[in-house]
Amino acid sequence: MYFELLDLSPEERQHRLSALPDATLREHVRGLLETSQIEISEIVSSAASSVLETLEPERFGPWRVTGIIGHGGMGAVYRAVRDDGVYEREVAIKVLPSGAQSSDRRERFRQERQMLAILDHPNIAHMLDGGEGATGSYIVLEYVDGTDIISYCDARGLSRDDRLRLLLSVCAAVQYAHEHGIVHRDLKPANVLVTQNGTPKLLDFGIAKFVEQNTLQTAAGFQALTPQYASPEQVCGGPFTAATDVYALGALAYELLTGARPQEITSGD
């Protein structure tokens, strides 16, 4: 029902919602639509842009910023180099600006930093440093110079077997995270980059959770997800498990092997 309504215009969507006989279901679906990632992404992107207009960090400890890689609801990611003479290395620095730090975002950022400190796997972009700076909290990460897994495979015309070999490496990284009690919850092509030497790297644990923190989510609360790859329990606000990531891996495999997503979702606006 949720995915069907996303494809409708606002007027048609309201008509279909009003026709639902179950009031509880009607309000649940309405809440999901109001907080869907498709609509929220435009809001948080605009907010992040406003913050970035006034934020021009030069360095974080020994790391000197050389440019910006991107930004989103959880802050900005900068390219940087170490220039204190101890050693040289290019890195990516994820920053949660001081002006964008709600208690919920601070906790999510702190949790992401803790997860990355635990994970040490060749197919997961690993953390090198982290801390608090004058401009905000930050995480220093391995810089991955790569292309999302779908574009990488398509550009090289990789065979089915070669695509599956890449996917198996991603599965190994996800399994490793699960063995450490971590569910990624946002597996999608943009979060799996493949380097020039053909090594896939899993990125962005921004909405990942420890299994022990599993709680039932409400439709009225913020639901961070990417609808095209989200599992049924994510869409419905239910408790997550390792199966949440397995579902997303299945959606990724489908796209890798067929060239299409399992389901195309638009805002309908």
List active site positions: 186
Amino acid at 155: A
Helix axes 149-156, 242-258, angle to 10 degrees: 20
- CA 212 to chain CA centroid, nearest Å: 20
Query: What count of other Cβ atoms lies within 10 Å of the Cβ of residue 42?
Result: 10
Is residue 107 within 8 A of residue 157, CB to CB? The reply is no
Report H helices in the chain.
2-6, 10-19, 23-34, 37-54, 103-118, 149-156, 160-179, 232-235, 242-258
d(CA 145, CA 133): 25
Is residue 166 within 8 A of residue 153, CB to CB? The reply is yes
Closest CA to 127 of 207, 48, 201: 201
Is residue 89 within 8 A of residue 119, CB to CB? The reply is no
What are the angstrom distances between the C-alpha of 116 and each of 86, 140, 179, 190, 196? 24, 10, 14, 18, 23
Question: Quick one: tokens of 213?
Answer: 């923190």
What are the angstrom distances between the C-alpha of 233 and each of 41, 210, 216, 225, 245? 20, 16, 10, 11, 11
